[in-house]
Amino acid sequence: MPMDESVRKAVLGAVPSLRAFAISLCGNVDRADDLVQETLLRALANIDSFQPGTNMSAWLFTILRNHFRSEYRKRRREVEDSDGHYAETLKSQPEQYGQVEYREFREALSQLPQDQREALILVGASGFSYEEAANICGCAVGTIKSRVNRARTRLAELMHVNSAEDFGPDETVRAVLASGE
């Protein structure tokens, strides 16, 4: 049976954000791309269980997340490459834009507990609602909300941030100038 054109479009359209999600979960581009590929294979093999009219992207995220979870349990003892490969793909990041801050942010993110990290990414970056994120993670909406809150608080702690002025040298300079110190 040839692939339905609308399915093909929806699946390919979801690939960029699936990759971003996968990379932020496992911190390794090659592994993330394998994860996305396995997700697409699973999804297309089970396309009959997709309910037309519902959110294809959320469905694919759920498959990817569950697959990662089962893989993650298997590979728990492997050292996560939270920096190396990720840093490589992000070489194109403009040098002038708070490079140190950006690096610190990624390191802090990789230190979050898995549950908190995925909740924060789904809501804060992938643009899912709390309800959608709860469906993807198979938990209650309130659980997602509290994970997101804890993730934000923990990130700020890890980065030693109390106010926006603690970010980046530009902001510090401006704050000093403004306060006349």
Partner 1 sequence: MEAAATRKKSTAKPAKLGRDVQARLGQQLRSMYDEVVNQGVPDRFEDLLNRLDNNGSKDGH
- Applying CB under 8 A, which residues contact partner 1? 1-3, 8, 11-12, 15-17, 19-20, 23-24, 33, 36-37, 40-41, 44, 89-90, 92-93, 101-102, 105-106, 109, 120-121, 124-126, 152-153, 155-156, 161-164, 167
Shortest distance (Å) from residue 52 CB to partner 1: 19
CA atoms within 13 A on the CB side of 148: 20
Supply the DSSP string of 69-129, one letter for each residue: HHHHHHTTTSPP-SSHHHHHHGGGS-TTTTHHHHHHHHHHHHTS-HHHHHHHHHHHTS---
> How many whole angstroms separate alpha carbon 116 and alpha carbon 129?
15
> How many whole angstroms separate alpha carbon 35 and alpha carbon 65?
9
Structure tokens at 177: 């100038």
Structure tokens at 21: 């999600």
Q: Name which of 74 and 174 has its Cβ closer to partner 1.
A: 174
Shortest distance (Å) from residue 21 CB to partner 1: 8
Q: Name which of 77 and 164 has its Cβ closer to partner 1.
A: 164
Shortest distance (Å) from residue 59 CB to partner 1: 16
Q: Name which of 119 and 134 has its Cβ closer to partner 1.
A: 119
Shortest distance (Å) from residue 74 CB to partner 1: 23
Shortest distance (Å) from residue 152 CB to partner 1: 6
Inter-axis angle of helices 130-137 and 141-158, nearest 10: 100
